[in-house]
Structure 1
Amino acid sequence: MAVVSNYPKLSADWLRHEKDARLHRKQVTILAATGNLATGAVLGQILAGAATSAAKAGGNTGGGSLTLDATTPKLVGVKAGVYKVRAIGLAANGGIFSVHDPDEIYIGNYTIGGPDFANQIKFAMADSGTDFAVGDGFDITVAAGSGKWAYYDPTAVNGCAVPRGILLDARDVSGGADVAGVVVTGEAEIVAIGLAWGAAVDDADKKSAGVALLAKLGFQTRQLS
């Protein structure tokens, strides 16, 4: 007959060794209504807030406009800060624009009249009146997020698409109030089968992808399944 254990899960079930707990543990605020979290819950951090757009400082020669997508202005991988959309190629009633993220990394071009730009942010542009000049453009500002923590979710557009740490001790955050907790942020040896995942990580492939991202934080995995 199988033996069923009712003992609560322990951190030792997933955390086997830490290089230096003083350096790689962090007290955090877990977002209200995240759920009843077990030790070993893989968490992300809400780093990106609302997105807004405006013409670049000093205004534009051209009379066109930029409109953020009404449903999904932010996409997976979005960063807090200012995205710069600048004209690099001229055309009558159009133009080509380069897009750089808040770290000044080039992430693609957009052509007026073409498909929506959809890398980290999603927008479309239209020409009206005077044509754009080289250097014209728009700034898209993504506000900083709350900094609170919630389950890692590879589809999230608030920063939680990247895991940032693993919950050390279980916390019930199913109510309407935020709850304090402690996460291990890296440089530790873990057992992947002992980790706890949110509803969005619902198959082995997604768990493996999450474990691969944890490795970038310095987590070494002893057991994958």
Structure 2
Amino acid sequence: MLASYKYTGKKRRSQLVKFESNPEFTRETFTLLGGAGGVRAIGLGMLLAMTFGVGAVNVAQAADAGNTGNGVLTLADPAYTNAVLPGDYTVVCTTGGADAVSKFRVEDPEGNHVGTATGGTSFAKHIKFTIAGGGTDFVEGDRFVVSVAVELGAATNKVVEWDPDAVDGTERIWGVSLVDLEAPDGEDVSGGLALRRGDVILAGQEIAWPDGITDDQKAAAVVELEQMRMIVR
């Protein structure tokens, strides 16, 4: 009786990508961020996230001309975390008063509640700032707008592995790796290639899901990919 052998070869792009409309449009190159305490390794089919480099994000703020309170919103340096989104954040007073009493609802550009800021106390979710009261207390409805511009193609931006449990922005999917790539400890490496947008159909069984991912996290990731016009089947 002849012996039988099972051979497992290296995964190919054609196994992951079932359909791709136009590689010139759907793909994008990237630089892999250097490892932190060891080698950072990504593989074909891994989901990726983006970290923003210095100069890639510009943040400005403005108080509403109709505000009653004459306090000021001062941006931190830097004025954002990796969770920041491009667009206008609104900071609206929900409880009037002086510092330590006044409260402000912070919403992202999509209208989602990010958190509640307290007068006189630093706020650091998506955007980072401190609101200080003035001679006239804030009242309900007083408002600030924090505008964020993100240069997604900035050379200082680096890619890392997607982490569904993160809260620093790397929980948002940037793309799907089309290569195997390693970055030594502290040394960024270019040469990355990823699927960034559709129209694309991906083989679900070929996606390299992170260890410990829950079914809910996986389902949410599939929805996020679909919003990027990358369908998982």
Q: Output the TM-score relative to the length of structure 1.
A: 0.66
Q: Tell me the distance in 2 between the aligned counterparts of 1:111 and 1:221.
A: 39
**3-state SS of 2:208 partner:** coil
Q: Tell me the distance in 2 between the aligned counterparts of 1:170 and 1:57.
A: 49
Q: Tell me the distance in 2 between the aligned counterparts of 1:167 and 1:213.
A: 16
Deviations 1:35-68 (A, max 9, x none): 222111111222487898977499x874657689
Q: Tell me the distance in 1 between the aligned counterparts of 2:72 and 2:138.
A: 10
The gaps in structure 2 that reach 5 residues or longer are none
1:131 and 2:137 matched: yes
1:17 and 2:19 matched: yes
User: Alpha carbons of 1:135 and 1:91: their partners in 2 closer, same or farther (altered >3 Å)?
Assistant: closer
Structure 2 counterpart of 1:183:
194
- Which 10-residue stretch deviates more, 41-50 or 14-23? 41-50
1:193 and 2:205 matched: yes
Alpha-carbon contact 2:53-2:158 (below 8 Å) kept = no
Structure 2 counterpart of 1:167:
177
Q: Tell me the distance in 1 between the aligned counterparts of 2:167 and 2:12.
A: 31
- Number of residue-to-residue matches in the alignment: 212
Alpha-carbon contact 2:44-2:180 (below 8 Å) kept = yes
Identity %: 27
Alpha-carbon contact 2:162-2:171 (below 8 Å) kept = yes
Alpha-carbon contact 1:48-1:144 (below 8 Å) kept = no
The gaps in structure 1 that reach 5 residues or longer are none
**3-state SS of 2:11 partner:** coil
Alpha-carbon contact 1:40-1:194 (below 8 Å) kept = yes
User: Alpha carbons of 1:107 and 1:194: their partners in 2 closer, same or farther (altered >3 Å)?
Assistant: closer
Structure 1 counterpart of 2:45:
40
From 204, 208, 218, the equivalent of 2:219 is 208
Structure 2 counterpart of 1:151:
161
- Which 10-residue stretch deviates more, 162-171 or 120-129? 120-129
Alpha-carbon contact 2:20-2:201 (below 8 Å) kept = yes
**3-state SS of 1:23 partner:** helix
**3-state SS of 2:157 partner:** coil
Q: CA deviation at 1:195?
A: 1.4
Q: Tell me the distance in 2 between the aligned counterparts of 1:161 and 1:219.
A: 17
Q: CA deviation at 1:183?
A: 0.9
- Which 10-residue stretch deviates more, 156-165 or 19-28? 156-165
